[in-house]
Amino acid sequence: MLENGSVLVTGATGLLGGHLVAELARRGVTTVACGGPGRGALGIDLSDPEAVASLVSAARPRVVIHAAAVTLISDCARDPERAEAVNVAGTVHLADACREAGARLVHVSTDLVFDGEHAPYDESVTPAPLSVYGRTKLAAEREAAQRVPNLLVVRTTLLFGPTLTARRGFFDQQVDALKTGSPRMRLFEDEWRTPLSLRAAAEALVAMAGEDDLRGTIHLGGPERMSRYEMGERLARHLGVDPAAVFERASRLGVAGEPRPRDVSLDSSAFHHVFPRLAVDDFESECTRMGVQ
Ligand SMILES: NC(=O)c1ccc[n+]([C@@H]2O[C@H](COP(=O)([O-])OP(=O)(O)OC[C@H]3O[C@@H](n4cnc5c(N)ncnc54)[C@H](OP(=O)(O)O)[C@@H]3O)[C@@H](O)[C@H]2O)c1
C-alpha cells in the first residue's frame, strides 16, 4: 500500500517517468518527482552524491522508483564517462541514500543486459551486455544489490506509447511521420524484443513498488515478440496508413558502432505469477488504451 508522499520518482521528466507520475496520481498518491540537472527546483544531478543525499533525506520516501538514466545506446557509446557517472555512480549514490533513509529501491533496468543469443530470457540467465549502455545498466544493478537489502530490479523492454512530458520518443516520431508522410524511417526487421506499453509498464512498476516483500530481479516484458519494423507496420495499420508509405526495412547488421543483440525477448512468467490480474493487452489494444488512434 503506497501512502501519500511515500514515493520518490527519479527520471520523472522522461518517457517512463511521466507515465509513473500519472499512474501514481491516478491512484491518488502524491509523489516527489525529479528530473535531470537543468530542471530548476525539480532537477537533480544523480552524479552528485551530496545532492542525492540531500534530496532523499528531505523527501523521506518509503520507496524510490529509479527511472533516471542516460538511455540512448548511441549517447552511451559516444560518452561512456557520462553513462558511467549517471547510470552507475548515480545509482550508487541513490542506493546509499536509500539505505541511510531505510527506503526501498525499485531500480528500472533493461533487456539490453543480455546478448540476444539465448531468448527468451528469464531471471535465471546470466547477463552478457553488448553495449556501453547495457554494461552500465548491469553494473548499476550489481552495485545497488550490494547496498540495499530490499532492492527490486525490474528489467523491462522496448516501451511504446505517447510521451506525457516534453521528451519525444521513437513512438511519437513514428506517429508524427505516419500522420504527415515524412520523414521516411528505417526500422530493424531483424532485432526482436517483447515491447510493452508505457501505460502497462507504469501500472506494473507502481504495483510492484507497493509490494514491500517483493525483492530480487523480475522481468517485465510485453505479451508479443516483435521487431521494430513489425511494430511500425502494426502502428501504421492501426492509424489507417499504408506502412510502405513511411517505413523501410533495415538490418541491425548494417549499423556502425556497437553490435545490437538479435533477440532479447523477456520471459515475464514470474511477474504474471505474482500479479495475475495485471493484464497487458496486445499492441493495438494498448495503443487504443493510451489514446493513439
Ligand atoms: N524507454 C525504453 O524503451 C526502455 C527500455 C528498457 C529500459 N528502460 C529503462 O527505463 C528507465 C526510463 O527510461 P526512459 O525511456 O523513460 O528514459 P528517458 O526518456 O531518456 O528519460 C531519462 C530520464 O533520466 C533523467 N536524467 C538523465 N540524466 C540525469 C542525471 N544526470 N541526473 C538525474 N536525472 C537524469 C532525464 O532527465 P532530464 O530529461 O530532465 O534531463 C529523464 O528524466 C531507464 O532506466 C531506462 O534504462 C527504458
The domain that holds 71 is classified in CATH as 3.40.50.720
| Mean pLDDT to the nearest integer, 108-135 | 98
The verdict on the CB of residue 120 being under 6 Å from ligand 1 is no
In a domain, 253, yes or no: no
pTM: 0.97
| Mean pLDDT to the nearest integer, 78-89 | 98
Residues 4-59 have pLDDT tens digits of 779 999 999 999 999 999 999 999 998 999 999 988 778 999 999 999 999 999 99
The verdict on the CB of residue 15 being under 6 Å from ligand 1 is yes
In a domain, 236, yes or no: no
In a domain, 252, yes or no: no
The verdict on the CB of residue 36 being under 6 Å from ligand 1 is yes
**What is the whole-number distance in angstroms between the Cα of residue 202 and the centre of ligand 1?**
14
**Catalytic machinery residues:** 133
**What is the whole-number distance in angstroms between the Cα of residue 240 and the centre of ligand 1?**
31
Angle in degrees, 0-180, between the axes of helices 132-147 and 90-101, rounded to the nearest 10: 20
Pocket test for ligand 1, best of 71, 113, 174, 231 (most atoms within 8 A of CB): 71
Closest ligand 1 atom to residue 46 Cα is 32
In a domain, 86, yes or no: yes
The verdict on the CB of residue 45 being under 6 Å from ligand 1 is yes
In a domain, 176, yes or no: no
Share of the chain above pLDDT 70, in %: 100
Average pLDDT score over the chain: 95
Residues 203-219 have pLDDT tens digits of 999 999 999 999 999 99
Residues 133-159 have pLDDT tens digits of 999 999 999 999 999 999 999 999 999
Cell numbers placing 218: 523480475
The verdict on the CB of residue 47 being under 6 Å from ligand 1 is yes
CA-CA distance, 48 to 71, in Å (whole number)?
Answer: 19
CA 222 to mean position of chain CA atoms: 12
Rg, the chain, Cα only:
18
- Strand 7-10, strand 63-66: pairing: parallel
The verdict on the CB of residue 42 being under 6 Å from ligand 1 is no
The verdict on the CB of residue 131 being under 6 Å from ligand 1 is no
3-state SS, residue 259: coil
Domain that holds residue 84: 7-162+195-222
Number of domains in the chain: 1
In a domain, 85, yes or no: yes
CA 132 to mean position of chain CA atoms: 16
Pocket test for ligand 1, best of 8, 10, 16 (most atoms within 8 A of CB): 16
In a domain, 136, yes or no: yes
Q: Of 66, 13, 7, nearest to 42 (Cα)?
A: 13
Q: Which residues contact 9 (CB under 8 A, 6 or more apart)?
A: 17, 20, 21, 24, 31, 32, 33, 34, 64, 65, 67
**What is the whole-number distance in angstroms between the Cα of residue 123 and the centre of ligand 1?**
23
Q: Where are the alpha helices (DSSP H) in the chain?
A: 15-26, 49-59, 73-78, 80-83, 90-101, 132-147, 170-180, 198-209, 228-238, 269-274, 283-289
In a domain, 181, yes or no: no
pLDDT the model gives residue 200: 97
| Mean pLDDT to the nearest integer, 256-263 | 93
Closest ligand 1 atom to residue 137 Cα is 47
